[in-house]
Amino acid sequence: MDSFSSPSSGSSSQFSPNEFRDQLKTQLAQAYAEEFLESMPPRTRGGEIWGRPPPRGRRSVRRGRGSKRDNSVNQPDVTVPLLPPAIPLAAPNPTAALIEALQAVVQIMMTTQRANASSSTRQAKCLRDFKRVDPQTFNGSSDDPTETQLWLRSIETMFELINCPDDQKVRCATFMLRDDAELWWQSTSEIISPEGCVISWAEFKDAFMEEYYSEDIQLRMQQKFTQLCQRGRSVTTYAREFIRMKHFAPELVNTDYRTTWWFVRGLDKRIRHIVEAISPATYAVALRAAKAMEGVEESPEPPPPIVKRKRRHDQVD
C-alpha cells in the first residue's frame, strides 16, 4: 500500500491513506469548531467566560486556520461543541401560492365591481334629478342665436338648482341634444377625446359656442343690440326685448349705470326726454318712469266739468 507524507508538518513521517484521511477529517473538524467558537457571543465563547484563564489541568489550544500544528500521535484533546439541529425549511407549496394569487385577483375584481356600481348609481341619480326639473331639448336647427344662449343659460341654471357635480354636467346636457345637435356631438366628442376620456364642462361649452354661436354671430348680435329702439311699441314690449338682447353685449351692460343708459337711449323721443330729465340712477327707476310717462300720454284728456245752472223757479228773489 502506498504511503503519503503529512500535509501539515515538515517531518518525513509517512501515513497510510486511511490515516491521512482521518487526519484530514480531524483538521477540518477543528477548523469548523474554531469558526463556530469565534461566531459565538464574547461571554459564552467555547462555554467559557471571556477573559478568564482556562481551568487547570487542561491546555487551551487556539489556532487560526493557517497555523501549523504538531501531527504527532499524542495530540491534545479538542472538544467540538455540538451544534443545534438544523430547522428544516418548508418546501414551497405551488398550490397554496396559486390559491393566494386567485384570492387577490377575486378581491380586486370585487372592489372594481363595487366602484363601478357606486359610479353607475351616482350617474343615474344625477340624471334623474336633472330630468325632474324639466330641461328643454336642443336640436340646433334654429337660426336664432337667442335660442342657443337661452338654452345654455337654462341648463346652467338647472345645474345650480340640483347641485350637479362637474363630472356629470356634460352627460346631463348632452342627454337633451336631439337631431342635428346629437349627431354633431357624437362626432365632436370623438375629436375632443379620441380615447374616450371624461370631457369637462368648459370643453363642451367651448365646442358648443363655436358651433352654434360663433364670433361672427356674436358681433352681429352685439351690433343689433346697439341699434335697438322702441319704435312706437309699448314700453313693456321694448323692455322685454331689451333684456333678451343685452346678453349678446355683456361688455356694454356690465354695470347698472350702463344698462340704464342704453335702455333710456332706445326709448321714443317724447318719453326719453322726460325720463332723462329725472336722471334715473338705476334701470328699475328708468323703467317705472317710462311706463308712467307712457300711461299719461295714452290716457285721453278729461272732459270739461259740467256746470249746473239753477232753474228759474229755484232762484230766490
Q: What DSSP string runs through the chain? A: ---EE-SS-SS--EE-HHHHHHHHHHHHHHHHHHHHHHHS-GGGGGGS-TTSPPPTT-------TT-----SSS----PPPPPPPPPPPPPP-HHHHHHHHHHHHHHHHHHHHHHHHHHHHHHHHHHHHHHHT-PPPB-S----HHHHHHHHHHHHHHHHHHT--HHHHHHHHHTTB-HHHHHHHHHHHHHH-TT-PPPPHHHHHHHHHHHHS-HHHHHHHHHHHHT---TTS-HHHHHHHHHHHGGG-TTTSSSHHHHHHHHHHTS-HHHHHHHHHH--SSHHHHHHHHHHHHHHHHSPPPPPPPPPPPPGGG---
| Residue 280 is assigned to a structural domain of this protein | yes
Both 256 and 183 in a single domain?
A: no
- The parent domain of residue 273 ranges over 226-297
Q: Are residues 128 and 205 in the same domain?
A: yes
Do 203 and 139 belong to one domain?
yes
pLDDT of 283 > 90? The answer is yes
* Nearest by Cα to 199 from 163, 160, 161, 173: 173
Of the listed ranges 30-34, 49-53, 171-175, 227-231, the one predicted with least confidence:
49-53
Considering the domain architecture, whether residues 154 and 202 belong to the same structural domain is answered as yes
End of a domain among 143, 178, 213?
A: 213
Is 40 among the domain residues? yes
Residue type, 96: A
At residue 282, the pLDDT reads 94
Q: Residue 1: what pLDDT?
A: 45
Contact 126, 161 (CB under 8 A): no
Residue 24 lies in a domain: yes
Beta bridge partners of 138: 177
| Cα–Cα distance, 267 to 276 (Å, whole number) | 10
Last residue of some domain: 31, 47, 63? 47
Q: Is residue 274 part of a domain?
A: yes
pTM of structure: 0.48
Q: What is the pLDDT of residues 41-64, one digit of tens each?
A: 655 444 455 555 555 555 545 555
Task: Tell me, yes or no, whether 141 and 208 share the same domain.
Answer: yes
Q: What are phi and psi of 226, to 5 degrees?
A: -65, -20
Question: What are the angstrom distances between the C-alpha of 102 and each of 94, 95, 107, 131?
Answer: 12, 11, 9, 43
Domain match, 244 and 198 both:
no
- Domain count along the chain: 3
Q: Is the pLDDT of residue 181 over 80?
A: yes
Q: Which of 15-19, 123-127, 298-302 has the highest mean pLDDT?
A: 123-127
33 vs 60: CA distance, rounded Å: 13
Residue with cell 327707476: 285
> For residue 306, is it within any domain?
no
pLDDT at 263 over 90: yes
Angle at CA 185, nearest 5°, toward 180 and 186? Answer: 100
Last residue of a domain, one of 184, 213, 242: 213
pLDDT tier, 238 (very low <50, low <70, confident <90, very high otherwise): very high
Percent of the chain with pLDDT over 90: 31
My answer on whether 208 and 240 are in the same domain is no
Q: Is residue 134 part of a domain?
A: yes
Asked, for residue 78, whether it belongs to a domain, the answer is no
For residue 303, is it within any domain?
no
Average pLDDT, whole number, for the chain? 76
Query: Looking at the structure, do residues 209 and 230 belong to the same domain, yes or no?
Result: no
Same domain, 125 and 195: yes
Mean pLDDT of 101-107: 75
8-30: average pLDDT:
59
Q: How many CB atoms lie within 10 A of CB 311?
A: 7
